[in-house]
Amino acid sequence: MSQNTNKEIDLTSIKTYGELENSGYSPRSIKDELRGNLIEKLKNKTPIFEGIIGYEDTVIPQIISAILSKHDINLLGLRGQAKTRIARTMVDLLDEYIPIIKGSEINDDPFCPISHFGISEKADKGGNLPIEWLHRNDRFYEKLATPDVTVADLIGDIDPIKAATLKLSYADERVIHYGMIPRANRSIFVINEIPDLQARIQVALFNILQEGDIQIRGFKMRLPLDVNFIFTANPEDYTNRGSIVTPLKDRIGSQILTHYPKSIEIAKKITQQEVISDVKNENILVPETAKTLLEQIVFEARKSPYIDANSGVSARMSISMYENLVSAAELRMLKNGQSKTTVRMSDFENITPAITGKVELVYEGEQLGIENVANELIGSAVKTTFNSLFRSIKKLKKPGSSDEFDAIVQWFMESNDFELKNDSADQKHAEQMNKIKPLEEALDKFISSGTENERIFLKELMLWGMVEYKLLAKRKREQSTSFFDEIVGSFYEN
């Protein structure tokens, strides 16, 4: 409700303009609404932009400043940086309900109607003018900018059918069919990917942003719309599809740069928040290290020489990978008739489909092939995570010296038939992993705590890391993965 509303009165029970006027209700513009309600939240220390993670010290303070300044906003950033989510969250800063003239196409304010219909209705009915209440959730409009969008779609046009039906001249304002923006009067209107909008269509927005009015087919009319615009776009230099024309950018009050999560921990929180709830199976344990490794794959992708950095790597990739990871474990659990299971390193081989459709490759990546690029990313992430949990392995060592990893290599030199079945039951998988006694000793040196299931995962990760360091070789079969001493592995490859 308006900040001037008497909280003891249920204003939504008011049905006429006369009753509304007598109630003491005072209307305000949408930008004043956003600003006033934001100030109230700040004073009361109420959470703002809940669900937006990782922007607490960067993007959100700038958005707050823009709202206080009563600016239209352009959110500029690569794909998957929560731009649309931020825009949708702004609805929470609107009044819960606002009054509109009943039957108005453009949410006419009963105190100050702007359409022919609203003005005529108020003049004819006065205090008996019927009103209805519009909830804030119905005051959010969103349009994806595509090359086929027309001025008529956004602003409006003459409707010949309406003219014929009502027997009106084309000079009569009542023959106008309002576009999306007039229908979003007193609302938030979002245009996603504004550079995709043709330049001549962007020009049509100049008057709306500067003067707040529109012109339709040369009609001598002024329609002072009350709209809060939010635009989203990729950085202009990063796209070949188009750009925001300079005069339009000049009319947008604040341009705010978004960014990807700056740490693995923040990325993990975002993924866990966004993963489909049905996929979060409480019977499937996802070790914390597995979650870290998964996010590390995305971080590796963002710096990979095979992936177009200008296109970006969306946070949606880690969400999809997590869902695939859990689903792979669930399938194994169902096949074995188990009630519980734990994610394994072999399950990471099932996340490739979530990678291949989410990245754009440069020439070198195209030459290597998308599946090979995906394997490179997983391998790089394994190595980075291995170094973080354990330590990096030096290629050169002092003569006669040995370490915990040498003992593991020695074990494989003596046991060249080690194989992990992808679909083996958890108990058999654990028994197979526990055969490697030096692996247990090496793990104890770095990590002494953790449940048995988590330690089994860490052991498997250690083997994968040693493969990345070329101390061991890994051979993938259709239903299993075999590990060898590097020399034996080279023999098999040849």
Helices (H), 134-210: 151-154, 160-166, 180-183, 199-203, 206-210
The pLDDT score that the predictor gives to residue 243 is 80
Q: Which residue has the higher pLDDT, 162 or 320?
A: 320
pLDDT at 396 (0 to 100):
58
Residue 488 CA to residue 491 CA, distance in Å, equals 5
**Contact by Cβ (8 Å): 82, 90:** no
Q: Tell me the pLDDT tens digit for each residue of 377-389.
A: 999 999 999 999 9
51-79: average pLDDT:
94
Residue 245 pLDDT? 86
pLDDT at 213 exceeding the cut of 80: no
Q: What average pLDDT does the segment 145-173 reach?
A: 74
- Average pLDDT of the residues in 462-470: 94
* Class of residue 59 by CB neighbours under 10 A (exposed 0-12, middle 13-18, buried 19+): buried
* Percent of the chain topping pLDDT 90: 63
Give me 105's structure tokens. 């196409």
pLDDT at 36: 96
Cα 424 to Cα 333: distance, rounded to the nearest angstrom: 9
Q: What is the C-alpha separation between 255 and 130, in angstroms, rounded? A: 40
**Residue 312 region by backbone torsions, left for phi larger than 0, else alpha for psi between -120 and 50, else beta:** left
Averaged over 213-233, what is the pLDDT?
79
Residue range 296-325, pLDDT digits in tens: 999 999 999 999 988 889 989 999 999 999
Q: What is the pLDDT of residue 4?
A: 47
Q: Which residue has the tokens 């399938």?
A: 331
Average pLDDT, the chain: 87
Given the structure tokens 């003992």, which residue do they identify?
Answer: 407
The pLDDT confidence band at residue 332, using thresholds 50, 70 and 90, is: very high
Do residues 283 and 341 make contact, with C-beta atoms less than 8 angstroms apart?
Answer: yes
Domains of the chain: 11-257 (3.40.50.300), 261-389 (1.10.8.80), 397-494 (1.10.10)
pLDDT at 494: 45
Residue 267 or residue 198, greater confidence = 267
Would you state the pLDDT for residue 217?
Answer: 63
Whether 159 contacts 219, CB under 8 Å:
no
DSSP string, 54-108: S-TTTHHHHHHHHHHTT--EEEE--TTSSHHHHHHHGGGGS-SEEEEETT-TT--
Q: What is the mean pLDDT of residues 208-228?
A: 75
- Between 426 and 478, the more confident residue is 426
Other CB atoms within a 10 A radius of the CB of residue 319 amount to 23
Is the pLDDT reported for residue 216 higher than 80? Answer: no
Q: What is the pTM of this model?
A: 0.85
